[in-house]
């Protein structure tokens, strides 16, 4: 394990906001220079919490970043089209180094989201939503790895971009972990 978040983060505002808190966390989100410059290295990222939504739809994007670089993004993964209170959600994504060097490539090799709702349907997170490769929030290119300098140091972040129609929509990340699994 590289990082484990302890302090929850709640986002209700429009625009991009981080879901990661380093307050009281175990480990760090800072990766040293060359950490990802290993062919086959896999980072597993998990984040989850609860969402409260109104019946007003909005657009929502989840995206993972290394420094200022978006490396994986999911479009409309969170559903703000039904009223729900404190519905649980979770995202798990595996990001693999495919080639190394100053023009190395990262590929989101698997991702899974899940959500629950009191009725078992219309969860806050759609079960078919997932992160895919993409270099800007909301763009997904599943077969195109992201290219960046893997010899550099980076800080990992997970952000949400909400343009929700209702100010009562909120997402809380109760935990987040980052680990090396390969």
CA distance from start to end of the chain: 12
Closest CA to 46 of 120, 146, 113, 134: 113
Cα 53 to Cα 19, 30, 35, 151: the distances in Å are 17, 32, 38, 41
SS (H, E, C) 38-91: CCCCEEEEEEEEEEEECCCCEEEEEEEEECCEEEEEEECCECCCCCEEEEEEEE
> Could you read off the pLDDT of 6-51 as tens digits, one per residue?
999 998 867 788 999 999 999 999 999 999 999 999 999 998 888 8
> Could you read off the pLDDT of 97-145 as tens digits, one per residue?
999 999 999 888 776 666 554 444 455 555 445 567 767 666 666 667 8
Q: How many CB atoms lie within 10 A of CB 6?
A: 13
DSSP 135-159: SSTT---TTSPEEE-TTS-EEEEEE
pLDDT of residue 81: 59
> pTM value?
0.83
Three-class secondary structure of residue 36 per DSSP:
coil
């Amino acid at each position: 394990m590289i990082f484990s978040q302890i302090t929850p983060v709640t986002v209700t505002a429009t625009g991009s906001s981080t879901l990661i808190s380093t307050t009281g966390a175990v480990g760090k989100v800072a990766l040293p220079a060359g950490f990802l410059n290993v062919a086959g290295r896999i980072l597993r990222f998990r984040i989850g919490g609860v969402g409260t939504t109104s019946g007003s739809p909005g657009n929502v994007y989840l995206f993972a970043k290394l420094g200022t670089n978006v490396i994986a993004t999911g479009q409309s993964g969170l559903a703000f089209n039904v009223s729900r209170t404190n519905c649980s959600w979770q995202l798990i994504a595996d990001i693999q180094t495919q080639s190394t060097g100053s023009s190395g490539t990262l590929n989101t090799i698997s991702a899974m989201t899940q959500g629950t709702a009191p009725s078992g349907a219309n969860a806050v997170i759609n079960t078919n939503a997932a992160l895919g490769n993409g270099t800007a929030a909301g763009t997904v290119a599943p077969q195109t790895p992201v290219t960046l300098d893997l010899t550099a140091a980076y800080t990992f972040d997970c952000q949400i971009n909400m343009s929700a129609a209702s100010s009562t929509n909120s997402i809380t990340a109760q935990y987040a972990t980052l680990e090396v699994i390969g």
